[in-house]
Amino acid sequence: TNAQYMVPPSAAYRIFKHHVSSTIPLHWHEFYELEFVVSGRGTHVVNGREVPMASGTMYLLTPADFHEIRMAEGEMLTIYNVIFTAEMLKPELVQLLFSRRIQYMTECAGVQYERMRSEYERIWEEFMHPRAGSRIVAEGAIERMLIDLYRACEVPEPHGLTEHNPHSIEEVIRNAMIYIQHRFRDSLTLEQAAASCGLSANYFSECFHRVVGMPFQTYLADTRLEFAKALLGVSQLSVTEVCYASGFNTLAHFERMFKRKYGHTPSRYRRECAAQSHRQALPIH
Q: What is the pLDDT of residues 107-158, one digit of tens each?
A: 999 999 999 999 999 999 999 999 999 999 999 999 999 999 999 997 655 4
For the chain, give me the number of helices (H) and strands (E)? 11, 9
Three-point CA angle 35, 58, 90, nearest 5°: 65
At residue 44, does pLDDT exceed 90? yes
**How far apart are alpha carbons 263 and 257 in whole angstroms?**
10
218-247 average pLDDT score: 93
Q: Using an 8 Å Cβ cutoff, are 264 and 271 in contact?
A: no
3-state class of 197 per DSSP? helix
Q: Using an 8 Å Cβ cutoff, are 168 and 207 in contact?
A: no
- pTM value? 0.80
| More confident call, 282 vs 43 | 43
| More confident call, 82 vs 230 | 82
pLDDT band at residue 284, thresholds of 50, 70 and 90? low
At residue 61, does pLDDT exceed 50? yes
19-43 average pLDDT score: 94
Cite the DSSP H helix spans in 9-109: 91-98
User: Residue 277: its pLDDT value, please?
Assistant: 64
Cα distances from 4 to residues 1, 69, 163, in angstroms, run: 5, 20, 39
SS3 of the chain: helix, strand, coil, percent, to 5: 50, 20, 35
3-state class of 206 per DSSP? helix
User: Residue 17: its pLDDT value, please?
Assistant: 96
CA within 13 Å, CB half, 79: 23
At residue 55, does pLDDT exceed 90? yes
Neighbours of 24 (CB within 10 A): 17
